[in-house]
Amino acid sequence: MKPLSHARGKIPQSGIRKLQELSSQIPDAIHLEVGEPNANTPMPIIDAAYRAMQEGHTKYTSVPGYPSLRQAIRNDLEALYGLKPGLDEIVVTSGSVTALTASLLAIADAGDEVLIPDPAWPVYEMILMVQQCVPVRYALKAEEGFAPDFEDLEAKVTDRTKAIFINTPGNPTGAVFDEETVKRLMEFARKHDLYVISDEVYEAIIYEGRHVSPKSYDTDDRVISIFAVSKKYAMTGWRLGYMVASKAICASVSQIMITLVGNAPSMSQKAAEAAITGPQQFVDEMLLSYRERRDMTYELFMNNQVKAYKTEGAFYMLIDIADTGLTSDDFALALLQEEKVAVAPGSTFGNVSHEMIRVSLATEKEALREGVNRICRFIAQRR
Ligand code: PLP
């Protein structure tokens, strides 16, 4: 038998998935490694999808998505950020992951270098490796609230650099880039003629500041802004994301979508339309609930002299574990074995977070409290 693809064999395993698998074998483990809302999708959205299916929305749709959904997305982006994309500048995708993958395929060739944050969601690196691009990490400065290090960025650009990934609000950092930072990133992209793949899937989950979309400063069609209903409406399983970019990029992404998924699921598109056009009370309530959990978690760590980076957006908190002397992988494994708490090891996100772990705040409050207390106890025993 001939061997499997050489290139694909090099794709790194996500440390989060590894911990998920290990912890799934421990029935009473506390899950702080997961990256999805604990709430179920609101009933009105489920009802809308059910009705849509009964009405026959169980078939293929146009590749970039139902025009009615794209119109709803357009209206929403205008109301939220003043963006006014045409319907041919929006593509609905199967989760934001497909938008990220198809966008990269549309703009980059094998061997192209692409800048990704350090630390970053591990899937960026995986997507780049699947497509045989070269991931080059630029540092986010922990001591400055995980803002980009522009000196490092300048040092990492070469004549083969094609694009930069930006992620605000950030996973795993919880950082929200302010207007000045986004403007500087856009100047940097223009100066070096780079495409910008802007992952904005956590745009609705912000505790400090406001969401600034790089698309608002896109004077020459280099930004691909990617959104999703996954985190905002607790719809991770529906696999529904969307992207906004130039007509040319969207046309290319649509062609690529045909080879990946054909189109996003019709019933999920209808559910997303109901979510986006319906009452937004659920989003407000979830935000309030995440904020309470963020405050509680930060306070618990601080009271136990554990250094935590205060989350400004998204639902993750990075914790410094340097004084335990353990690597983040060893820490996560020992914590799971001894305290039955699963967390994501910082090493899976890059180098900057090597001596950190990531805790998800999207867990039920009492389980989160118990999990954080156990982490504090575990750290105290190793100091
Ligand atoms: N982008 C970031 C930064 C994420 O953390 C995630 C999920 O964890 C995604 C994208 C994927 O979202 P979706 O479910 O829409 O594919």
Q: Is the CB of 35 under 6 A from ligand 1?
A: yes
Q: Does domain 56-277 have CATH number 3.40.640.10?
A: yes
Residues of the chain within CATH 3.90.1150.10 domain(s) are 8-41+281-382
Atom of ligand 1 nearest to the CA of 241: 15
Q: 1 C-alpha vs ligand 1 centroid, how far in Å?
A: 36
Q: State which H helix or E strand residue 140 sits in.
A: strand 134-141
Indicate if ligand 1 lies below 6 Å from the C-beta of 167: yes
What would the pLDDT profile of 136-145 be if each residue is shown by its tens digit? 999 999 999 9
AA letter at 41: T
Ligand 1 centroid – CA 381 distance (Å): 35
Q: How far apart are CA 252 and CA 300, in angstroms?
A: 49
Q: Judge if the beta carbon of residue 234 lies within 6 A of ligand 1.
A: no
- Kindly report the average pLDDT of the chain as a whole number: 96
Q: How far is the CA of 153 from the centre of ligand 1 (A)?
A: 24
Q: Peptide bond preceding 85: is omega within 30 degrees of 0, i.e. cis? A: no
Structure tokens that stand for 332 in this block: 């996560």
* Correct CATH for 8-41+281-382 of 1.10.3720.10, 3.90.1150.10, 3.40.190.10, 3.30.70.980: 3.90.1150.10
What is the torsional sign of CA 256, 260, 261, 262? positive
Pairing of strands 241-244, 223-228: antiparallel
pLDDT confidence of residue 6? 79
How much is the average pLDDT of 135-163?
97
Q: Work out the average pLDDT over 116-136.
A: 96
Give just the sign of the alpha carbon dihedral 335, 124, 213, 251. Answer: negative
CATH 3.40.640.10 residue spans of the chain: 56-277
Task: Specify the ligand 1 atom closest to the Cα of 99.
Answer: 16
Residues 6+ apart with CB under 8 A from 343: 19, 32, 33, 332, 335, 357, 358, 359, 375
pLDDT at 13: 78
Tens-digit pLDDT profile for residues 265-283: 999 999 999 999 999 999 9
